[in-house]
A = this chain, B = another copy of it.
């Protein structure tokens, strides 16, 4: 039962776009918790209009992050193409956290449990799938500590998210130390 909503009026479409652009910028700059009023202000639109188009913060997240999360697939594929199982896994971590470091909103999305939009959830699942394969490969090759699991990666992600928030310049070093501890 698809409810075919009629096309937006011209001004409405314009405002929707401005809101989306503003939200994209502000999420990236300030993180997921930026006040909705700020988004409205940057979009030069009233708060009422914001709520008309995006009744909840989640609606913004659902519109904005699926594309962002597509990058996860890219780095996943890239890592799967790498021959050396250790290099594949370690490179994946580097790329993943580099991504997070570039976008505070993405950092939040990946580090919290919150994001409920199905598109976002499925993107995360795909990411976890890639990571799972990389872990299995590395385990099979005996280059990763034998008890490592995807749960540890989730923990690491939240930890690194915090490092990125506190001191954006240090995550790479932190990761390199942690990664040493990962080798079998």
Mask of A167-184 contacts with B, CB within 8 angstroms, 1/0: 100100110111111100
- Say which residue of B152, B163, B177 sits within 8 Å of A181 (CB atoms): B177
List A residues 132-184 near B (Cβ within 8 Å).
Answer: 145, 148, 151-152, 155-156, 158-163, 166-167, 170, 173-174, 176-182
Q: List B contacts of A158 (CB < 8 A).
A: 162-163, 166-167
B181–A167 touching, CB < 8 Å: no
A167–B180 touching, CB < 8 Å: no
Q: List B contacts of A163 (CB < 8 A).
A: 155, 158-159
CB distance from A8 to the nearest CB of B (A): 40
CB distance from A84 to the nearest CB of B (A): 19
CB distance from A87 to the nearest CB of B (A): 17
